Copies of this chain bind each other. A is one copy, B any other.
């Protein structure tokens, strides 16, 4: 067993969700999750029969969902029922945040009942997985590659931490600690232990979370072991397959790039494979880097981060263009209409970016966290909290709509828990500094070292860039505040108690670093003017040639048929957003819409013609743009992010 190193002092860790009271833009979203989404999620779990599988006192249910079939008709290894524990876990996690926000005895009782089921399900040795206890007994730990066993454990650990923070109830935390201890005994380099790791990463970051909450540092070591062991030779998935009598080559996804186990993690320099898995792995790596101060891991992550964000990311922060592997393809292959860009993958990118901030404030990460959060991730949840996007294209001819549910129900609870936990993404706290990564009307109760600090943000962000931050203290104290200056803002300014700061000398990696002896009651005002701007794509991105995307603040905009009639691709805007007229979007309460002058191609009748020499006539028109994440919340129709631009 690797020796336990002390967590480094200068790492930044997120506060617990209940430490931040969130209002304003995100407050409304959290309320929608608390009021509606969480109960929808619970009911869908009931309808799917998930609790029939989990509750050991009910009859063992039949296998409900068909196995994936190989092309010759023979069954393959993965069934969504195998990872139902993780879906239930994400529901518990989202419910925990909802309960913290709004007491709800009915919901709490339901969650307690599920936790009690898990308690009854858990075996005396600590093992707890409903599929392998009830559906495939005797097969535990025989197919880590395909069966999501440690992944399920990880999500339950995250749920346990969240439920403990929200309710102070320890039951699930204790269950998952026992299970984590079992996993710790089962996996490792010692004789009799399995040198394995999960085909779907998640356990790594979950063990860090569990360790931070319980103080059990061996969970950090186990997380590090899983990270270090990945991709080592002899390859665990080969060995494991041979042990269960299977041909290692008969892997449905053909290459271990699919689950990022093709190489040891420090040798990986291309973001590849299944997008959610990649994000969860890198998140775990970043957490391990933070806890162990491991620069070699951080350096590997920086290479992967650049690879992802400079060659493989949609402007919405969507990632993973292909449905075939739910993941990455070639550099600059970012088709808009067929974009997969799974909600969970953008959530994963938010998680990764947030964890990259563990090594200290850096706009490189926080800007992308904000971009993915407000666009590719948030688009996954309708404003009323009742319907969901699984894939998030940047263009639609009118046939792409929000689901009430999905065969693979990972995204709805994932975006729900992310929205409900938004407070923990807004801040990072080290021993002597608090960083504000995201702005929004809120009150944060933080502990900087041993100093309790209250930071109250008054703002209409993200619709307006003026943020007033009040520092509340029990007693005067010295500490640093790091305030992010978003990369999209050209003319930031800031004052403390009305004194304007000279921004440039105190900016470091895109954060204003304010160090002083605080008396308490100071007001910092940050002014981040939001001007509409057009974003262009690297010309290597074929899909965006001759097009531009409109943005304002952290929001990427799109045009919808409901505002602009059909034929959005006949619209051509001038490549200048300075005259954009900002106003309220009807039917999208509070959102800022942008109106721009444009030209529209009018063609004569194309009926029965494929080609013609006749030119279109051009008419002047206006185009209304609305924030991308809000699309398909009104009348259904076409949608377009990358609009044609006049040259």
Using a CB–CB distance below 8 Å, which chain A residues touch chain B? 70-72, 74, 306, 309-311, 313, 315, 337, 533-542, 545-546, 549, 567, 569-570, 572, 575, 599, 601, 603, 606, 608-616, 618, 644, 646-647
* A310-B570 in contact (CB<8A): no
Extra contacts besides A313-B610, A535-B613 (16): CB < 8 Å? A70-B72, A309-B610, A310-B610, A533-B613, A535-B611, A536-B613, A537-B611, A538-B606, A538-B610, A539-B570, A539-B603, A539-B606, A545-B644, A575-B615, A601-B647, A646-B647
How far, in whole Å, are A646 and B572 apart by their CA atoms in the complex? 10
* A536-B610 in contact (CB<8A): no
For A309, list chain B residues within 8 Å (CB).
610
* B536-A612 in contact (CB<8A): yes
Q: Given B310, B537, B542, B614, which contacts A337 in the complex, CB threshold below 8 Å?
A: B542
For A616, list chain B residues within 8 Å (CB).
536
In the complex, how many angstroms separate the beta carbon of A271 from the nearest chain B beta carbon?
A: 13
For A613, list chain B residues within 8 Å (CB).
533-536
Which of A309, A570, A610, A616 has the most chain B CB atoms closer than 10 A to its own CB? A610
How far, in whole Å, are A536 and B644 apart by their CA atoms in the complex? 16
Q: Given B310, B533, B534, which contacts A608 in the complex, CB threshold below 8 Å?
A: B310
* B569-A606 in contact (CB<8A): no
- Among residues of B, the one whose C-beta sits closest to the C-beta of A575 is B615
- Contacts A72-B72, A615-B575: A538 and B647 contacting too (C-beta < 8 A)? no
How far, in whole Å, are A541 and B397 apart by their CA atoms in the complex? 12
How far, in whole Å, are A615 and B608 apart by their CA atoms in the complex? 39
- Among residues of B, the one whose C-beta sits closest to the C-beta of A71 is B71
How far, in whole Å, are A646 and B546 apart by their CA atoms in the complex? 10
How far, in whole Å, are A536 and B542 apart by their CA atoms in the complex? 20
- Contacts A72-B71, A567-B539: A546 and B644 contacting too (C-beta < 8 A)? yes
- Among residues of B, the one whose C-beta sits closest to the C-beta of A487 is B613
In the complex, how many angstroms separate the beta carbon of A57 from the nearest chain B beta carbon?
A: 42
Q: Given B311, B546, B599, B611, which contacts A315 in the complex, CB threshold below 8 Å?
A: B611
* A569-B545 in contact (CB<8A): yes
- Contacts A537-B611, A569-B545: A618 and B647 contacting too (C-beta < 8 A)? yes
For A569, list chain B residues within 8 Å (CB).
539, 542, 545
In the complex, how many angstroms separate the beta carbon of A631 from the nearest chain B beta carbon?
A: 19
For A549, list chain B residues within 8 Å (CB).
611
For A310, list chain B residues within 8 Å (CB).
608-610
Shortest 3 CB-CB contacts between residues of A and residues of B: A71-B71, A538-B606, A72-B72
Which of A542, A546, A611 has the most chain B CB atoms closer than 10 A to its own CB? A611
How far, in whole Å, are A608 and B405 apart by their CA atoms in the complex? 38
* A611-B538 in contact (CB<8A): yes
For A545, list chain B residues within 8 Å (CB).
569, 644
In the complex, how many angstroms separate the beta carbon of A425 from the nearest chain B beta carbon?
A: 22
In the complex, how many angstroms separate the beta carbon of A434 from the nearest chain B beta carbon?
A: 30
How far, in whole Å, are A540 and B615 apart by their CA atoms in the complex? 16
- Among residues of B, the one whose C-beta sits closest to the C-beta of A567 is B539
13 A-B pairs with CB atoms under 8 Å apart are A72-B74, A309-B610, A310-B609, A536-B613, A536-B614, A537-B610, A537-B611, A538-B610, A538-B611, A542-B569, A572-B647, A575-B615, A646-B647
- Contacts A72-B71, A539-B603, A572-B647: A306 and B608 contacting too (C-beta < 8 A)? yes
For A646, list chain B residues within 8 Å (CB).
647
How far, in whole Å, are A120 and B188 apart by their CA atoms in the complex? 73
- Among residues of B, the one whose C-beta sits closest to the C-beta of A533 is B613
In the complex, how many angstroms separate the beta carbon of A40 from the nearest chain B beta carbon?
A: 35
How far, in whole Å, are A518 and B41 apart by their CA atoms in the complex? 87
For A533, list chain B residues within 8 Å (CB).
613
- Among residues of B, the one whose C-beta sits closest to the C-beta of A395 is B542
How far, in whole Å, are A413 and B646 apart by their CA atoms in the complex? 46
For A644, list chain B residues within 8 Å (CB).
545-546, 647
How far, in whole Å, are A115 and B646 apart by their CA atoms in the complex? 63
How far, in whole Å, are A525 and B615 apart by their CA atoms in the complex? 32
In the complex, how many angstroms separate the beta carbon of A561 from the nearest chain B beta carbon?
A: 15
For A315, list chain B residues within 8 Å (CB).
611
* A311-B535 in contact (CB<8A): no
In the complex, how many angstroms separate the beta carbon of A471 from the nearest chain B beta carbon?
A: 33
* B647-A599 in contact (CB<8A): yes
How far, in whole Å, are A545 and B571 apart by their CA atoms in the complex? 11
How far, in whole Å, are A572 and B646 apart by their CA atoms in the complex? 10
For A74, list chain B residues within 8 Å (CB).
72
- Among residues of B, the one whose C-beta sits closest to the C-beta of A313 is B610
In the complex, how many angstroms separate the beta carbon of A205 from the nearest chain B beta carbon?
A: 26
* B538-A609 in contact (CB<8A): yes
For A599, list chain B residues within 8 Å (CB).
647
- Among residues of B, the one whose C-beta sits closest to the C-beta of A551 is B613
In the complex, how many angstroms separate the beta carbon of A596 from the nearest chain B beta carbon?
A: 15
How far, in whole Å, are A608 and B309 apart by their CA atoms in the complex? 9
How far, in whole Å, are A538 and B570 apart by their CA atoms in the complex? 11
How far, in whole Å, are A311 and B599 apart by their CA atoms in the complex? 27
- Among residues of B, the one whose C-beta sits closest to the C-beta of A332 is B610
For A614, list chain B residues within 8 Å (CB).
536
For A306, list chain B residues within 8 Å (CB).
608
* A611-B536 in contact (CB<8A): yes
In the complex, how many angstroms separate the beta carbon of A290 from the nearest chain B beta carbon?
A: 25
* B615-A536 in contact (CB<8A): yes
How far, in whole Å, are A422 and B644 apart by their CA atoms in the complex? 43
In the complex, how many angstroms separate the beta carbon of A130 from the nearest chain B beta carbon?
A: 32
* B70-A610 in contact (CB<8A): no
- Among residues of B, the one whose C-beta sits closest to the C-beta of A606 is B538
For A606, list chain B residues within 8 Å (CB).
538-540
For A311, list chain B residues within 8 Å (CB).
610
Q: Given B535, B567, B575, which contacts A612 in the complex, CB threshold below 8 Å?
A: B535
For A570, list chain B residues within 8 Å (CB).
539
How far, in whole Å, are A575 and B540 apart by their CA atoms in the complex? 24
Which of A70, A534, A538 has the most chain B CB atoms closer than 10 A to its own CB? A538
How far, in whole Å, are A70 and B279 apart by their CA atoms in the complex? 34
- Among residues of B, the one whose C-beta sits closest to the C-beta of A538 is B606
How far, in whole Å, are A311 and B570 apart by their CA atoms in the complex? 19
